[in-house]
C-alpha cells in the first residue's frame, strides 16, 4: 500500500500523542500514570469496542462490560489455586490468559449469534438484559464466583511493576485503535458497514447478515476481554458488583461522553470520566453545593445529559463543531454545509434505519 496518503495530519497527531504517552512515565507522577492513565487506557479500550460496534455495525451494545468481566472471572478461576472461592484450577498464568480469552470469545460469539437478528433499540435492550443476567450468573453460581467475587489475583511476572501494566494498556489501545481503523477497509469491514446501512440489500446481494453481526460482536468481545484482563490485573480482584447494571451504564456513558461514533472519543471519554472520578472531591466548592464524593453519579449523569442535549456526538462532536465554526469565522463567509445537520444524520444511520 502507498505510504504517502497515510501521512496526513491526523496520523501525525496520533503519532505525537502516542510518543507523548510513551514518555509520560518519566514526565508525570507515579500516581497519575499508574492510577489515572492506566485506568483511562483500560476503560478506553473497553469503551472502544462499544464505539466499534456502534460505528461500523450499527449496534449499540451494553454487553461489553459483561465480556470485560467474563475475561476477568475466567482468569481468576483458572490462575488461582487455594483461593477462597472459584474453581482454583491453578494453571500457569499465561495458560489462564489463553483460557480467559477463548471463553470470552466463545461467549461473545454465542451471545452475538442470538442477538444477530435484532438491531437498534432492540439490540440495546437485549444486550442490557445480557449484562444483567451475566451479573446474576456470577453473583449466584458459587462455583465460579459467588457474591464476594474472586480476590488476591496476581498478574503474570512479566507485568510485575505497575508501569509495565500502563505500557501494556497503551500497546493494546494503540493496536485496537489501529486495528479497528484498518478493519474498516477490509472486505469484512466494508460488508459490515453495508449491513449497518441496508441489511435487506446486503442480504439480497448474498451476504450472511446475521453472521457478519455475530462476528463483529465476537471481535468486540475479544478486545473487551483483553481490557478485562488488564482490569483484573490492575485491581487484583473482581466481584459481580463491578459488572452490575450501574457500571454497565457507566461504560456506555464513557463511550457517549467521547462521542459514540468516534473511536478516539472512547479514550477521551474514559479520560474525562477518570479525571472527574479522581479529582472531583478535591474541588473547593464541591462541599458547599452539596455534591460530595458519594454524589458522584449525579455529576456524571448531569454531564452526560448536558452532552446529549448539546450534541449527540459527544465531546468529539462538540469539538468538531467548534472547529468548524472557527474555520468559518476565519473564512468570513458562511460555509454552505450546516455543521449541525451532520451529527443528527449519522445518529439516525446508526439506528439501522429509523422509520416511524
Residue ranges binding another protein (CB under 8 A): 60, 114-115, 117-118, 120-122, 124-126, 128-130, 132-133, 136-137, 140-142, 244-246, 249-250, 252-253, 256, 260, 294-298, 300-302, 304-305, 308-309, 312, 344, 347-348, 350-351, 354-356
Question: Of the two residues 216 and 229, which places its CB atom closer to another protein in the complex?
Answer: 216
Q: What is the DSSP letter of 148?
A: T
Question: Of the two residues 98 and 148, which places its CB atom closer to another protein in the complex?
Answer: 148
Cβ 155 to another protein, closest distance in Å? Answer: 30
Q: What sign for the dihedral angle of Cα 6, 197, 267, 234?
A: negative
Question: Of the two residues 170 and 266, which places its CB atom closer to another protein in the complex?
Answer: 266
Q: How far apart are the first and last CA of the chain?
A: 44
Cβ 70 to another protein, closest distance in Å? Answer: 14
Cβ 312 to another protein, closest distance in Å? Answer: 4
The widest CA-to-CA distance across the chain, in whole angstroms, is 71
Q: 296-310 vs 245-258: helix axis angle to the nearest 10?
A: 40
For residue 106, count other CB atoms closer than 10 A to its CB.
13
> Are 173 and 181 a contacting pair, CB within 8 Å?
no
Question: Of the two residues 90 and 301, which places its CB atom closer to another protein in the complex?
Answer: 301
Question: Of the two residues 244 and 316, which places its CB atom closer to another protein in the complex?
Answer: 244
- Of 266, 282, 247, 354, residue with least CA distance to 314: 266
- Of 101, 84, 86, 80, residue with least CA distance to 138: 86
- Judged on CB neighbours under 10 Å (0-12, 13-18, 19+), 220 is buried
Cβ 301 to another protein, closest distance in Å? Answer: 4
Cα separation values, 107 from 74, 77, 111, 177, 214, Å: 12, 16, 6, 23, 11
Question: Of the two residues 124 and 224, which places its CB atom closer to another protein in the complex?
Answer: 124
Q: What is the DSSP letter of 183?
A: H
DSSP SS3 for 127: helix
Cβ 354 to another protein, closest distance in Å? Answer: 6
Question: Of the two residues 202 and 304, which places its CB atom closer to another protein in the complex?
Answer: 304
Residues present in the chain in total: 356
Question: Of the two residues 39 and 119, which places its CB atom closer to another protein in the complex?
Answer: 119
Cβ 239 to another protein, closest distance in Å? Answer: 15
> Are 273 and 284 a contacting pair, CB within 8 Å?
no
- Of 55, 32, 12, residue with least CA distance to 216: 55
Cβ 310 to another protein, closest distance in Å? Answer: 11
Cβ 159 to another protein, closest distance in Å? Answer: 33
Cβ 297 to another protein, closest distance in Å? Answer: 4
Cβ 129 to another protein, closest distance in Å? Answer: 5
Question: Of the two residues 26 and 204, which places its CB atom closer to another protein in the complex?
Answer: 204
> Are 236 and 139 a contacting pair, CB within 8 Å?
no
Three cell numbers, residue 15: 503519532
Three cell numbers, residue 154: 496476581
Question: Of the two residues 238 and 251, which places its CB atom closer to another protein in the complex?
Answer: 251
> Are 296 and 280 a contacting pair, CB within 8 Å?
yes
Amino acid at each position: 500500500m502507498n505510504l504517502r496518503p497515510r501521512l496526513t495530519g491526523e496520523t501525525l497527531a496520533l503519532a505525537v500523542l502516542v510518543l507523548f504517552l510513551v514518555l509520560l512515565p518519566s514526565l508525570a507522577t507515579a500516581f497519575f500514570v499508574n492510577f489515572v492513565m492506566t485506568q483511562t487506557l483500560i476503560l478506553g479500550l473497553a469503551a472502544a469496542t462499544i464505539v466499534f460496534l456502534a460505528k461500523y455495525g450499527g449496534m449499540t451494545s451494553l454487553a461489553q462490560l459483561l465480556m470485560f468481566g467474563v475475561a476477568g472471572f475466567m482468569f481468576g478461576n483458572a490462575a488461582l489455586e487455594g483461593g477462597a472461592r472459584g474453581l482454583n484450577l491453578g494453571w500457569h498464568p499465561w495458560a489462564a490468559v489463553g483460557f480467559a480469552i477463548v471463553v470470552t470469545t466463545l461467549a461473545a460469539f454465542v451471545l452475538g449469534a442470538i442477538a444477530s437478528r435484532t438491531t437498534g433499540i432492540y439490540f440495546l435492550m437485549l444486550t442490557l438484559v445480557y449484562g444483567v443476567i451475566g451479573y446474576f450468573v456470577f453473583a449466584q453460581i458459587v462455583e465460579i464466583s459467588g457474591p464476594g467475587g474472586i480476590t488476591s489475583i496476581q498478574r503474570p511476572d512479566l507485568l510485575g511493576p505497575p508501569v509495565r501494566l500502563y505500557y501494556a494498556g497503551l500497546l493494546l489501545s494503540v493496536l485496537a485503535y489501529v486495528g479497528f481503523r484498518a478493519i474498516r477497509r477490509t472486505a469484512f469491514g466494508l460488508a459490515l458497514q453495508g449491513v449497518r446501512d441496508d441489511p435487506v440489500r446486503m442480504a439480497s446481494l448474498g451476504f450472511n447478515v446475521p453472521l457478519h453481526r455475530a462476528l463483529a460482536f465476537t471481535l468486540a468481545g475479544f478486545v473487551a476481554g483483553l481490557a478485562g484482563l488488564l482490569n483484573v490485573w490492575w485491581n487484583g480482584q473482581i466481584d459481580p458488583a463491578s459488572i452490575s447494571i450501574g457500571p454497565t451504564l457507566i461504560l456506555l456513558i464513557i463511550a457517549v461522553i467521547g462521542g459514540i461514533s468516534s473511536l478516539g472519543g472512547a479514550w477521551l471519554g474514559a479520560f474525562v470520566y477518570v479525571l472527574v472520578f479522581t479529582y472531583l472531591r478535591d474541588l473547593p466548592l464541591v462541599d458547599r453545593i452539596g455534591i460530595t464524593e458519594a454524589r458522584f453519579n449525579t455529576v456524571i449523569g448531569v454531564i452526560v445529559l448536558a452532552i446529549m442535549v448539546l450534541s449527540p456526538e459527544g465531546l468529539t462532536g462538540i469539538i468538531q463543531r467548534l472547529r468548524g465554526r472557527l474555520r468559518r469565522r476565519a473564512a468570513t463567509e458562511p460555509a454552505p454545509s450546516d455543521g449541525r445537520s451532520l451529527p443528527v444524520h449519522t445518529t439516525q444511520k446508526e439506528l439501522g434505519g429509523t422509520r416511524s
